[in-house]
Structure 1
Amino acid sequence: MCEFTQREYSCGHFRWVASQWCREYRTTHKRCEPNVTHFKYRGEERCGNCKPEAPVAWEGMIKRLEQHPQ
């Protein structure tokens, strides 16, 4: 069985991250039942779906064509 780490975020969502793939998965790429071996609580973080979008650092470098109303 593949070993997974379960992460819980401050937003209340959970994620399961593979920490070790089993031999069967490495040969067939067929998922088996997950075996949660570790738990991590990330109370200072929100999951990727709940995080606010970070501003794009290079947005100010893009020269956009001005569109004139007709």
Structure 2
Amino acid sequence: MCNYTQREYSCGHFRWIASEWCRDYTITHKRCQPNVTHFKYRAEERCGDCKPKEYPPWENLIKRPNQPVS
């Protein structure tokens, strides 16, 4: 089983980050049953989905193609 660290953010979301891959995964690249070995609570931080997007001041100078909203 691969070892994972579970992170809980102040927004209430969870993330599981692999801390160590097992031998089976390194050979086959197929995920196995996770084994959560550490828990981290990040009270001062929101997950990447909930963080406000911060763009550099020069973002408006980049010409991007218009993409239709799906």
Range class of TM-score, shorter chain: 0.7 to 0.9
The percentage of aligned residue pairs carrying the same residue is 70
Runs (4+) of structure 1 moved beyond 6 Å?
A: none
Distance 1:12 1:51 in 2: 13
Distance 2:24 2:62 in 1: 51
- In the alignment, structure 1 segments of 5+ residues that lack a partner are 65-70
Alignment partner, residue 7 of structure 1: 7
TM-score, scaled to structure 2: 0.82
Backbone CA RMSD of aligned residues: 1.6
- In the alignment, structure 2 segments of 5+ residues that lack a partner are 64-70
Whose Rg is larger? 1
Alignment partner, residue 16 of structure 1: 16
